[in-house]
């Protein structure tokens, strides 16, 4: 298969048409990621000052949320000791203040909306309207230049302005990310691998707060958009999801009435009740994007435990199991497009046909490889720099298996009345950055598809 040629032509086609898709509405989660690279000596001194015994308790067992300094430092040690990631909500004001004073090495745009706004608006120059729960100076400063807008109400009228033009000062929703390398040592602990502990000092994104401007003027805001991407449901819990889900349901109804296709960017959602509620809502979306862990977690709440296990049993992930799972999900919910991504390949199941589905996946894979290679991609033209990264060899047996099972040709086949599109991705051996790479993949493929339809 001449994937190189398909990659080049897909990129060119999307690049020339991407500005024609109109505005993209992005809701709901935007925050600030404050990265702090841990220093062993500093951390040890802090532990001693707060009280070794109190701290060590929490390095054995994580608290449910962070309400004190021993819990904060203990949770960091919990991650270091195991080389495992963990994320907890930070409840106490004094602990939040301590984290602020402890400081950070780097600030990054966080939240799927923030990341996609900077990619679509700042890099692709596609106009976006973003929901930003809190517009603090720190937050607005992280938006790139370009056609990125937030709605604001002036003299009773909705105006779209760049976040940097927002005159008020609101709270900062900061996710403190305490990173450590492999071998990092503190007290008697040594990290078996690199990872991070995240303390979320954020009352807004964690409960899916929706701004009044959005709630009161949603129809007017939505009317000016051609596409929408929804994300940020992952932190909700069985105690607090009902109210935001009601509003999301209303928003989806408005978008559906206006004929605006909506993509859901699924992210790992630990709470089972919330996952079930998402499953119930899925039929109102045009499209969903997810990885193997996320697809398996949905199969679990659908009662498909065996299939869920199969999805996590092989490396690379068994594409026949993925296809079976996607078919079950499409049939149960009626969703029109499912985009699955994993390390090495992507698959899309659509209830419509055409090479443009596959070509949009190719564009997304090139964008992801460019991001991994360059860190930050300054403009869409730079994405072509990823062309020299070879197509991943690990995807060959995956492609063979799809050809055998579904008679796939040039990455396209028909399965159970749906089109199945496949592409092998380009993998960057020493990536500069993989933060938000899943969001890059899903949003690029979704809007790329509509660029190719236009
Ligand atoms: P995240 O939440 O970190 O964005 P996801 O699982 O949603 O994680 O996305 C990760 C995806 O990024 C993988 O499925 C894979 O396709 C892609 N990816 C990861 N590492 C690389 C790399 N080095 N080069 C190219 N693509 C990569």
CATH number at residue 254: 3.40.1190.20
Is it the case that residue 424 has pLDDT exceeding 70?
yes
Note whether residue 155 is domain-resident. yes
More confident site: 193 or 1: 193
| pLDDT band at residue 168 using 50, 70 and 90 as cut-offs | confident
Q: Give the number of domains in the chain.
A: 2
Q: Which atom of ligand 1 is nearest to the CA of 442?
A: 7
Q: Which atom of ligand 1 is nearest to the CA of 346?
A: 16
440 lines ligand 1 (CB under 6 A): no
The share of the chain scoring above pLDDT 70, in percent, equals: 100
| pLDDT band at residue 167 using 50, 70 and 90 as cut-offs | confident
Return the best residue to mutate from 231, 383, 438 for the ligand 1 pocket (most ligand atoms within 8 A of CB): 438
Could you tell me if 358 and 311 lie in one domain? Answer: yes
Return the best residue to mutate from 343, 432, 442 for the ligand 1 pocket (most ligand atoms within 8 A of CB): 343
Q: What is the mean pLDDT of residues 248-268?
A: 97
339 lines ligand 1 (CB under 6 A): no
Q: pLDDT value at position 28? A: 98
Note whether residue 261 is domain-resident. yes
Could you tell me if 145 and 192 lie in one domain? Answer: no
Q: Which stretch of 72-76, 135-139, 374-378 has the lowest confidence by average pLDDT? A: 374-378
Could you tell me the distance, in angstroms and rounded to a whole number, from the CA of residue 160 to the centre of ligand 1? 33
333 lines ligand 1 (CB under 6 A): no
Q: What is the pLDDT of residues 347-378, one digit of tens each?
A: 999 999 999 999 999 999 999 999 999 998 99
Note whether residue 407 is domain-resident. yes
317 lines ligand 1 (CB under 6 A): no
What's the whole-number average pLDDT of the chain? Answer: 96
Note whether residue 215 is domain-resident. yes
111 lines ligand 1 (CB under 6 A): no
Could you tell me if 193 and 273 lie in one domain? Answer: no
Q: Which atom of ligand 1 is nearest to the CA of 440?
A: 4
pTM, 2 dp:
0.95
Could you tell me if 209 and 190 lie in one domain? Answer: no
Question: Catalytic residue numbers?
Answer: 439
Note whether residue 392 is domain-resident. yes
Q: What is the pLDDT of residues 282-297, one digit of tens each?
A: 999 999 999 999 999 9
Q: What is the pLDDT of residues 17-57, one digit of tens each?
A: 999 999 999 999 999 999 999 999 999 999 999 999 999 99
Residue-number span of the structural domain to which 348 is assigned: 3-33+109-162+205-453
291 lines ligand 1 (CB under 6 A): yes
The share of the chain scoring above pLDDT 90, in percent, equals: 93
Could you tell me if 431 and 384 lie in one domain? Answer: yes
Q: pLDDT value at position 435? A: 82
Q: What is the pLDDT of residues 319-340, one digit of tens each?
A: 999 999 999 999 999 999 999 9
Note whether residue 233 is domain-resident. yes
Could you tell me if 320 and 436 lie in one domain? Answer: yes
Could you tell me the distance, in angstroms and rounded to a whole number, from the CA of residue 342 to the centre of ligand 1? 7
Nearest CA to ligand 1 atom 15: 343
Could you tell me if 145 and 70 lie in one domain? Answer: no
Could you tell me if 324 and 439 lie in one domain? Answer: yes
436 lines ligand 1 (CB under 6 A): yes
More confident site: 257 or 86: 257
Domain end point (choices 154, 183, 202): 202
Is it the case that residue 454 has pLDDT exceeding 80?
no
Q: Which atom of ligand 1 is nearest to the CA of 291?
A: 6
Is it the case that residue 391 has pLDDT exceeding 70?
yes
Is it the case that residue 179 has pLDDT exceeding 90?
yes
Max Cα separation, the chain?
65
Could you tell me if 38 and 27 lie in one domain? Answer: no
96 lines ligand 1 (CB under 6 A): no
Backbone angles phi, psi at 152, to 5 degrees: -140, 150
Could you tell me the distance, in angstroms and rounded to a whole number, from the CA of residue 434 to the centre of ligand 1? 6
Q: pLDDT value at position 1? A: 64
Q: Alpha-carbon distance 97 to 454, whole Å?
A: 50
| pLDDT band at residue 218 using 50, 70 and 90 as cut-offs | very high
Could you tell me if 58 and 28 lie in one domain? Answer: no
CATH number at residue 189: 3.30.1110.20
Q: What is the mean pLDDT of residues 426-435?
A: 88
Backbone angles phi, psi at 431, to 5 degrees: -65, 145
Note whether residue 167 is domain-resident. no
Could you tell me if 67 and 141 lie in one domain? Answer: no
Could you tell me if 292 and 183 lie in one domain? Answer: no
């Amino acid at each position: 298969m001449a994937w190189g040629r398909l990659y080049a032509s897909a990129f060119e086609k999307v690049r020339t048409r991407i500005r024609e898709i109109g505005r993209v509405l992005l809701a709901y989660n935007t925050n600030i990621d404050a990265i702090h690279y841990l220093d062993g000596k500093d951390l040890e001194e802090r532990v001693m000052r707060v009280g070794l015994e109190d701290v060590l308790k929490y390095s054995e067992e994580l608290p449910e949320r962070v309400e004190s300094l021993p819990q904060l430092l203990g949770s960091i040690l919990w991650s270091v000791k195991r080389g495992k990631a963990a994320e907890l909500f930070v409840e106490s004001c004094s602990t939040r203040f301590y984290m602020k004073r402890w400081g950070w090495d780097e600030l990054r745009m966080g939240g799927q909306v923030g990341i996609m706004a900077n990619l679509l608006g700042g890099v692709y120059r596609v106009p976006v309207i973003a929901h930003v729960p809190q517009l603090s100076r720190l937050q607005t400063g992280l938006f790139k230049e370009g056609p990125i807008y937030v709605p604001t109400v002036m003299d009773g009228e909705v105006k779209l302005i760049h976040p940097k033009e927002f005159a008020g000062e609101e709270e900062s929703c900061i996710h403190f990310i305490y990173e450590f390398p492999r071998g990092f040592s503190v007290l008697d602990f040594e990290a078996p691998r690199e990872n991070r502990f995240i303390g979320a000092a954020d009352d807004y994104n964690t409960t899916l707060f929706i701004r009044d401007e959005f709630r009161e003027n949603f129809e007017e805001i939505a009317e000016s958009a051609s596409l929408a991407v929804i994300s940020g449901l992952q932190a909700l819990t069985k105690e607090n999801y009902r109210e935001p889900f009601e509003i999301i349901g209303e928003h989806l109804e408005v978008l559906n009435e206006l004929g605006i296709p909506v993509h859901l960017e699924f992210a790992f959602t630990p709470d089972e009740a919330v996952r079930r509620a998402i499953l119930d809502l899925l039929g109102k979306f045009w499209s969903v994007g997810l990885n193997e862990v996320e697809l398996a977690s949905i199969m679990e709440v659908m009662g498909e435990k065996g299939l869920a296990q199969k999805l996590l049993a092989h490396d690379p992930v068994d594409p026949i199991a993925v296809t079976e799972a996607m078919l079950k999900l499409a049939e149960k919910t009626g969703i029109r497009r499912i985009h699955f991504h994993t390390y090495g390949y992507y698959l899309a199941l659509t209830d419509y046909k055409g090479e443009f589905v596959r070509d949009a996946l190719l564009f997304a894979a090139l964008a992801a490889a460019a991001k991994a290679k360059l860190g930050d991609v300054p403009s869409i033209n730079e994405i072509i720099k990823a062309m020299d990264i070879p197509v991943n060899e690990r995807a060959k047996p995956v492609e063979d298996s799809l050809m055998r099972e579904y008679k796939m040709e040039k990455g396209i086949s028909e399965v159970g009345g749906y089109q199945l599109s496949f592409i092998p991705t380009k993998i960057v051996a020493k990536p500069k950055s993989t933060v938000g790479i899943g969001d890059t993949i899903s949003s690029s493929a979704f809007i790329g598809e509509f660029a190719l339809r236009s």
